Structure 1
Amino acid sequence: MAKTTTTAAALALALGTAISVASLPASADEMKMEKCYGVALKGQNDCKAGPGTTCAGTAKKDYQGNAFKAVPAGTCTQMESPTSPTGHGQLEAFEETM
């Protein structure tokens, strides 16, 4: 009985370690983040949501142009943003036309 318990514990530990390692980024480049304006949902921005707001979680509406979300580097301008002039996230804050 003890051998079965030890084997099960060892398998569980090995599986947990494998899952942890698999979730790590493959390179240092994947860990780089950039500020992406106009993609955060209401109350889910990372910081800076323009005049009248303080910091994280203060965006007053979805896709607010002066509020950013930290995203993996290189992905911002591919993310959808219905308020953006280009229809995608921006690397700098922008004024909304809506």
Structure 2
Amino acid sequence: MSASSTLLASALTAVIAMSAAAPAVAASKEKCYGVAAAGKNDCAANGHSCAGQAKLDKDPAEWKYVAAGSCTQLGGMLQPGSK
């Protein structure tokens, strides 16, 4: 096996291994609305398209990933709320 073939096989193996681990990570997290600090949200909401663009602390329309089962304990909601 040539060096370039070995490198390609190693890269492909790494990609497959990472994609297999993704569902396990996703299963251990949940979206929690109303707990993100300003600038600390995890994704789009309120008309913006990126993480880190929340304007207010604990905006009920902004969300952050938290450990599964902990959202309501943190004072958050599993569905977006209203202002």
* Range into which the TM-score falls when normalised by the shorter chain: 0.5 to 0.7
- By how many angstroms is 1:49 displaced? 2.3
> Aligned equivalents of 1:39 and 1:65: distance in 2?
8
Deviation string 1:1-27 (CA, Å, 9 cap, x unpaired) is xxxxxxxxxxxxxxxxxxxxxxxxxxx
- By how many angstroms is 1:56 displaced? 0.4
Aligned equivalent of 1:68: 63
Which has the greater radius of gyration? 1
> Aligned equivalents of 2:77 and 2:64: distance in 1?
10
Bigger relative contact order, structure 1 or 2, given CA contacts below 8 A and separation 6+?
2
Aligned equivalent of 1:40: 36
More helix by share: 2
Does the 8 A contact of 1:48 with 1:66 survive in 2?
no
Gaps of 5+ in 2: 1-23
> Aligned equivalents of 2:78 and 2:37: distance in 1?
16
Q: Sequence identity, in percent? A: 47
- By how many angstroms is 1:50 displaced? 1.9
Q: Which runs of 4+ in 1 moved over 4 A?
A: none
- Do structure 1's residue 89 and structure 2's residue 76 form an aligned pair? yes
TM-score by length of structure 1 reads 0.55
Gaps of 5+ in 1: 1-27, 80-87
TM-score by length of structure 2 reads 0.65
